[in-house]
Structure 1
Amino acid sequence: MADHELAPTCTRDQALAAGLTRAQLRDDGRRISRGLYVSRAVPLDVRAACLATLPVLPPGSAFSHLTAAALLRAPVEHRWPLHLSVPPDVYRPRRVRLRTHVRRLTDDDVVRHGDLPVTSGAQTWLDLAALLPAGELVAVGDALLRAGHLDGMGLSARLRRAGGVRGIVVARELAPLLSPLAASRPESLVRHALVAGGLPEPEVQIPIQDRWGNEVAHADLGWERWKVALEYEGRQHAEARQFGRDVDRYSLMGAGGWLVLRFAGRHLGRLDTVVDRAAAALRSRGAHW
C-alpha cells in the first residue's frame, strides 16, 4: 500500500482508486472486515483495526467496552470483535468483527482519543461492570485513574445518572475502592481480594521511613497501623540489579519493624492464599476487625 501513497488503513475503493490491483491488495492488505484493510507494513493492533473501520461508522458512534478499554491502555485482553456503541436512531453496521451496542450517549460520555471516537473513561468502566469479574474491574478502574482517563468526580456523576443499567450495582459498590496509586493489575487484584475477603482495606504505596524519619522505601500495599506490608514481585524483580535493590529495601523495612509478605504471579490464581496469609500476619500484630 505504501508504494501507492495510501494510508496504512484503507477501504477497497481507496486502494483500487490508487492503482492497486486486487491481487496486490490481497497480498499487502489484511482484511479487517468487508472492504476494510490494514497494510502489512504496520502492526495489526487494536488502534489500526479501529482506524480501518472509521469509514463505515454511523454518525454519533464511539468505540466502547473492551475496545475502548484497550485503546485507553487499560489491562484487558482484547479480542475480536471490535465493540462499537451507536445511537438508537441510526443504522447498525452488521459486519464480521464488529459488534454494535445501541445506547444514547451524551457529549460527556464520548472523547476523542487521537483520531478515534471512544467512550470516556467513566462510560467505559461502567460498560465493563457488566462484563468483567470484580477484581479485573478494579484493575481497569485503577489503570484509567492512573492514566488520567478517569477521575472521581466524573465517575460519581456518571454513576448517579446511570439509572438501572446493567452492572450499576457492582460499579457503585467498587467505585470507592479505586485508586490511581495502584501501580499494576496484580496489585489491584490483590487489593480487591483482601477487601472482598473481609480484611481491613489496605493502604496503597505506603512510604516507609527509617528511625530518623527519612523515606527509605514504599510498600505496594499494607497497613501502617500494624506495620504489615504486601509486595507483589513481577518478572523484573528477578533481574540482578533489581534483586539487589529489593534485598536492600526489604532489610530496611524489616529493620523498621515491618512484616513483609511477598507474592508473585503464581499467587494470582489462588488469591485466597494471599488473603489467609495477610490475615494471619495482621493477627500476629494484634489486629482485630
Structure 2
Amino acid sequence: MAPQLFTTATARSAGLTRAALRGSSYVRLAHGLVVRLDDALDERERLALLATVLPPDAAFSHQTAAALLGAQLAPPPHPHVALTPRRVLPQHAGLVVHGRRLAAEDVVLDRGLRGTSGAQTFLDVAAVLPPQELVAVGDALLRAGHLDAARLGARLGRADRVRGVVRARTCAPLLSPLAQSRPESVMRYWLLASELPDPEPQVPVTDRWGREVAHGDLGYREWKLLLEYEGRQHADTEQFGRDVDRYSLMAADGWLVLRFARSHLLRPQVVVDRTRRALLSRGWRPQPR
C-alpha cells in the first residue's frame, strides 16, 4: 500500500490533530503536507507524493532533477520545481519554485516523474554549481543517456542571456561519458583547466602480449602515467586484494600510478602539482609559450 498523503485541510477533516501528525507514524514532506508511512519512504516516493499536489505544468528541476537523472548529487533539502511564469508565481514553504518557459523537449517523464531534461538540467545547475561540479553532473547525465552533444548544443544555442549559460557553454566541451564517478570527473576538470596535457579517462593497460589486464581512471598513455581515485569501496578486503593485483600488473609493465583519496578532492593544487611532477619524471616537457 502506498503511503497516505494529508494536507492540513484533509488531516483536519479526517480527525487528525496536530499532535498526531507530529507522531512517529507521520513524516512532514513540506510545509502543510504530511504523509502517513506504511513502508519506508525514499526520495523518489517523496517527490511522487509531492507531485500530486503540484500544478500540471510543474517539473522537478535544478539539483532535484539532476539527482533524479542519476547525477551523484545529494538531493536538496527543499525540492526544486519549475513552473510556467504567471502573474503571481505560486510559492510553497517546502519547495523552491522557479519560473521557466520550457519547450516540449525541455521536459521528460522519468519513471512517472515529470522533470527537466538532461540538457535543461545542465543549464539550470550551471548557475549554481562551480565548474568542476558542473562537469561531474554533465558526465553523469551523458553516462546515463540523458544527454548528448546534439541535445546540449541545441539547448545552449537558444539560451542567450540565461543565467549560467556562459559557464555551461564553457564546460560543455569538457564532458565525457567515460567518467565512472564524480571524483574522477572533478580531478579531470582540474587537469583540463591546468597547463598540463589533457588526461584520457578510462585508460586501458595491456601486457606485453597486447592483452588488456587493467585500466586506470585517468591517465596519459604516452608517458605511462595513471591516476586512480580510491573511494570507500577500496577498503573492502576483497577489493583491496584485487587492487593490489591490478597495481602490480600495471607496475610490471612500466606504468606509474598516482593514487588519490577523498581528502584530495578539496586540494586541486595537490592533484595538479603531483601529476605535473610525475609527468616530468616520465619525460614530458612543457611547451614554451
| Counterpart selection for 1:104 from 93, 98, 101 | 101
| Counterpart selection for 2:131 from 131, 134, 155 | 134
Number of aligned residue pairs: 283
| Counterpart selection for 2:6 from 11, 18, 22 | 11
> Compared with structure 1, are the counterparts of its residues 9 and 252 closer, same or farther at alpha carbon in structure 2 (3 Å cutoff)?
same
| Counterpart selection for 1:21 from 13, 16, 22 | 16
Q: Partners of 1:260 and 1:15 in 2: how far apart?
A: 60
Q: Partners of 1:53 and 1:199 in 2: how far apart?
A: 47
Counterpart code for 1:21? L
Counterpart code for 1:278? T
Q: Partners of 1:98 and 1:272 in 2: how far apart?
A: 37
TM-score where L is the length of structure 1: 0.91
Q: Partners of 2:91 and 2:149 in 1: how far apart?
A: 36
TM-score where L is the length of structure 2: 0.91
3-state secondary structure, aligned to 1:222: strand
How far off its partner does 1:91 sit? Answer: 4.9
- The aligned residue for residue 52 of structure 2 is 55
1:79-94 matches, within 5 Å, as 79-89=76-86, 91-94=88-91
> Compared with structure 1, are the counterparts of its residues 250 and 92 closer, same or farther at alpha carbon in structure 2 (3 Å cutoff)?
same
| Counterpart selection for 1:65 from 52, 62, 66 | 62
C-alpha contact 1:58 1:90 (8 A) present in aligned 2? no
For residues 21-48 of structure 1, what are the alpha-carbon distances to aligned partners after superposition, in whole Å with 9 as ceiling and x for unaligned?
Answer: 3465453322223442223334444323
- The aligned residue for residue 229 of structure 2 is 232
> Compared with structure 1, are the counterparts of its residues 239 and 26 closer, same or farther at alpha carbon in structure 2 (3 Å cutoff)?
closer
For residues 77-132 of structure 1, what are the alpha-carbon distances to aligned partners after superposition, in whole Å with 9 as ceiling and x for unaligned?
Answer: 33322111111137522211111111100010011122221001111111000101
> Compared with structure 1, are the counterparts of its residues 210 and 70 closer, same or farther at alpha carbon in structure 2 (3 Å cutoff)?
same
Gaps of 5+ in 2: none
Gaps of 5+ in 1: none
CA-based RMSD: 2.0
3-state secondary structure, aligned to 1:166: coil
Q: Partners of 1:9 and 1:185 in 2: how far apart?
A: 36
| Counterpart selection for 1:167 from 164, 175, 181 | 164
Identity over the aligned pairs, expressed in percent? 55
> Compared with structure 1, are the counterparts of its residues 63 and 216 closer, same or farther at alpha carbon in structure 2 (3 Å cutoff)?
same
C-alpha contact 2:4 2:37 (8 A) present in aligned 1? no
Q: Partners of 2:153 and 2:221 in 1: how far apart?
A: 29
| Counterpart selection for 1:252 from 249, 252, 268 | 249
C-alpha contact 2:64 2:75 (8 A) present in aligned 1? yes
Q: Partners of 2:185 and 2:15 in 1: how far apart?
A: 49
- The aligned residue for residue 212 of structure 1 is 209
